[in-house]
Amino acid sequence: MQIEITDIAKQELMKLNVGNDQFLRIDIVPGGCSGMTYSAALDTEMRASDEVLYEDGDVRIVSDSGSAMFLDGLRVDYSSDLIKAGFRFLSPSGLKSCGCGASFSA
Q: Name the burial class of residue 26, with classes exposed (0-12), middle (13-18) and buried (19+) by CB atoms within 10 angstroms of its CB.
A: buried
> Distance between CA atoms of 22 and 43, rounded to whole angstroms?
6
Q: Which domains does the chain have, with CATH numbers?
A: 4-105 (2.60.300.12)
- Per-residue pLDDT tens for 10-22? 999 999 999 888 9
For residue 69, how many C-alpha atoms fall within 13 Å in the half-sphere facing its CB? 5
pLDDT surpasses 70 at 52: yes
Confidence of residue 26 (pLDDT cuts 50, 70, 90): very high
CA distance 53 to 59: 11
3 state SS of 16: coil
